Amino acid sequence: MTVLSVNVNKIAVLRNSRGGREPCVGTAAMVAMAAGCAGITVHPRPDLRHIRPEDVFELARLTRSRAEFNIEGNPFAPPHGPYPGLLALVEAARPEQVTLVPDGDAQLTSDHGFDLRRDSGRLRPLVAELKACGARVSLFMDAGAEALELAAEIGADRIELYTGPFAEAFAAGDASLALARCANTAAAARALGLGVNAGHDLSQANLAAFLRGVAGVDEVSIGHALISEAIYGGLRETVSAYLKILAAN
């Protein structure tokens, strides 16, 4: 069955908008884990717009033996002020998974995957260093990405399908082409021995359709929609609703 990792970035956004510790990222993660999610995801950025290094260390402690901890980030971004760099965070926090994402500081959110023909040479030593920390390494990839075999060659364990285009097509009323691209890329990844994760703009409205169309998804990472829905329905109840969808598909 596909497992759920809850991204708690948006909890930190709300906290940072006021200052102080509320709402508490750690408490939100504990509620999500108590509801049954299999993992907690964060995406710390150099500008500290949401998750901060101290959040990473607290969540590493809270998730230990309870759920997998997944740290997302740009492996090419240098240290900046209190942000020590992705590798330093991973060395200190020892997450079970690291998801590498080619996002820049100017991006509002992650909106594209790696170009492996361009980036594989730079990624190879970084993947090795992250795996030496005991982490499974996943690469954020577009559906239909070329040269997918390079992901396996440089030592990655999984890819994470960028599902933003699928979500947009679903909302517009016809996701068949976007879904087929995701399914074909997932199948190609599995044929290379890679696991398949998925994330970005997945929601209760489109998750079942995505899972019916894309076989063999190991994990979905969901944050923005889940936290938005939780404002209305409660965090524990919303996590439980996602788990019911996963169990049925």
> How many alpha carbons fall within 13 Å on the CB side of residue 233?
14
- pLDDT of 108: 59
From the candidates 43, 50, 160, 219, give the one annotated as an active-site residue.
43
- pLDDT of 112: 79
- pLDDT of 2: 98
Active site residue 129: no
Active site residue 50: no
Looking at the DSSP assignment, which residues form a beta bridge with residue 200?
none
Active site residue 43: yes
Task: Go through the chain and tell me how many residues it has.
Answer: 249
What domains can you pick out in the chain, each with its CATH number? Answer: 3-248 (3.20.20.70)
Mean pLDDT by 10 residues, the chain (249 residues): 97 96 97 98 95 98 97 94 95 98 71 91 98 98 97 98 98 98 98 98 98 98 97 97 97
Question: Measured in whole angstroms, how far is the alpha carbon of residue 92 from the centre of its chain?
Answer: 19
- pLDDT of 180: 98
Regarding pTM above 0.85, the answer is: yes
Looking at the DSSP assignment, which residues form a beta bridge with residue 39?
5, 68
From the candidates 50, 72, 219, 229, give the one annotated as an active-site residue.
72
Question: Measured in whole angstroms, how far is the alpha carbon of residue 6 from the centre of its chain?
Answer: 8
Structure tokens at 129: 């260093």
Structure tokens at 46: 């150099």
Helix (H, G, I), strand (E, B) or coil at 18: helix
**Would you say 154 and 127 are in contact if contact means Cβ atoms under 8 Å apart?**
yes
Label residues 142-160 b or e (16+ Cβ within 10 Å = b).
bbbbeebebbeebebbbbb
From the candidates 50, 160, 200, 229, give the one annotated as an active-site residue.
200
